[in-house]
Amino acid sequence: MNPNSLSRATRQGGRHAGPLALAIAILQAPTVLSAEVSGATGANDIADLKRALADMRQQYEARIDALEVRIRRAEVKAASAETRASGNAARIEAQAEQTTYAAQAPVPTGGAQSRANAFNPAISLVLQGTGAAYSRNPDDWHLPGFQAGGEAGLKSEGLSLDETELTASASVDNWFYGQATLGLHQHEGETEVHVEEAFLDSLSLPGGLGVRLGRFFPEVGYGNTKHAHAWDFVDAPLTGQAFLGKQYHDDGVRLSWLAPVDNYLEFGVEALRGEEFPASGGSDQILGGAQNWFARFGADVGTDHSFLVGLSHLRAKPEGRSSGHSHEGGEETFAFTGDSNLTAASLVWKWAPDGNTTDRNFVLQGEYFHRDEAGRVDFQNNNGAGTALLSYDGAQQGAYLQGVYQFLPGWRAGIRYDRLWSNNDVQVLSNTGTGETDDALLEESHLLGEHDPHRWTLMTDYSNSEFSRFRLQYARDYSTSGNGDNQFLLQYIMSFGSHGAHTY
């Protein structure tokens, strides 16, 4: 059947059903009014009843509008199916995402009760747990040649509750969509809560323009914007650990433009506060302490294949960027201040027979990172008795390539290889009262690239539904030294409530 014909019929049915429901409500209204007017003895009471009737009329009109939005969503999905072979799928996906936002929009009315009911966000909860075993001490894990900060590191050994995410999202009105995600995780025996994301997206800007305001994951590479429960492996690639502190989120504003072409083409710029690793220190300037530029292009190749390529550049001026993971405001050992420029390129290629991912599909994903940094590194003993100053000029690279194949409904298997390289020039300029030799300071800084970290990872997982997943993973990790670490991980991921579809 022609999707357009189906849409017109549905629209006409919705239009007829709306006035009919409204007429029934109005016919029933006199009964309600007679009961209430019998006890009403003033013009104010009559006015209240008129407002109640107006609210009732607006509620039915809002339902009609909601039906039209659902029809529009069905039309977009039908258009996506029809145009997949012509290379428009990525653009259609972007349109569908905007329509999804609009479908959640509350329609304000004049009554107080209606305004109270207008706030009705979609709420979801994601629970994650892991069991980890290592052949080497995970406390000794580090990345030679890299100042790993943020949340970088291995998962806790043994059984543990991994990061739990609580998300609420809704359209504020026809102009803005909002989403907030709180993350809860265990660190050193204590539960910590932090705001992962809290942002507003524009819905009505013309010419393909879009604005995001608040806290979000910047478009640095491909994987940085993915929440942990959407990863294909238990842990982040070594590139994420080394260059982004596992995952980079910051406060700021994003301006993007979706080009009016047949395929998917988007450009964007982000002005960020620069509070989090790989930036640090924050900034009170209007353009923030970090800026990121990105571009993405995607298209379909026949009916079975599609791809997405991306390029980004993050510029930051870290001030006192720590080299460790600290939550209690404790004194840091090494702190970098200077200039940092990070460039990332990504490629994602997807295959599914006739575009149907239900039974079989394959995803090939890879990223390459290059970072140039120059500045100073300040060292201070934990007791504050000694200080040292190091000069640092570094060029670092990293890449990973992974493939994930779904061979049966619900069953997947994947393999990943990641590697890091560094070429750093580090020298001790001063060393006062530290009790350490210059060579020892250089060794402890972890900036000497005497070894190239690399790792092989295998995984298999099973999803009983879109709301549950169990995963088994093994890695042979040569991150710290040439003596490999055997890493075994078990993971479960459970989702509750409304949860939007993940991006491409």
pLDDT digits 0-9 by tens, 401-410: 999 999 999 9
pLDDT digits 0-9 by tens, 217-266: 999 999 999 999 999 999 999 999 999 999 999 999 999 999 999 999 99
Predicted confidence (pLDDT) at residue 194 exceeds the cutoff of 70: yes
Summarize the confidence of residues 133-161 as an average pLDDT. Answer: 93
Q: Which of 453, 452, 456 is nearest to 475 (CA)?
A: 456
pLDDT at 12: 39
Architecture of domain 124-497: Beta Barrel (2.40)
Question: Are 370 and 343 within 8 A, CB to CB?
Answer: yes
**Band (163; pLDDT cuts 50, 70, 90):** confident
CA–CA dist 237, 225 (Å, integer): 14
Summarize the confidence of residues 131-138 as an average pLDDT. Answer: 97
Summarize the confidence of residues 458-480 as an average pLDDT. Answer: 98
DSSP 3-state assignment of 453?
coil
* CATH 2.40.160.10 segments of the chain: 124-497
pLDDT digits 0-9 by tens, 229-243: 999 999 999 999 999
Predicted confidence (pLDDT) at residue 102 exceeds the cutoff of 80: no
Predicted confidence (pLDDT) at residue 62 exceeds the cutoff of 70: no
Q: Which of 131-145, 147-161, 347-361, 366-380 has the lowest mean pLDDT?
A: 147-161
Contacts 24+ apart (CB under 8 A), 176-181: 176/200, 176/201, 176/202, 176/203, 177/101, 177/104, 177/105, 177/201, 177/203, 181/227
pTM beyond 0.85, yes or no: no
Predicted confidence (pLDDT) at residue 25 exceeds the cutoff of 50: no
Whether the bond between 453 and the residue before it is cis, its omega within 30 degrees of 0, is: no
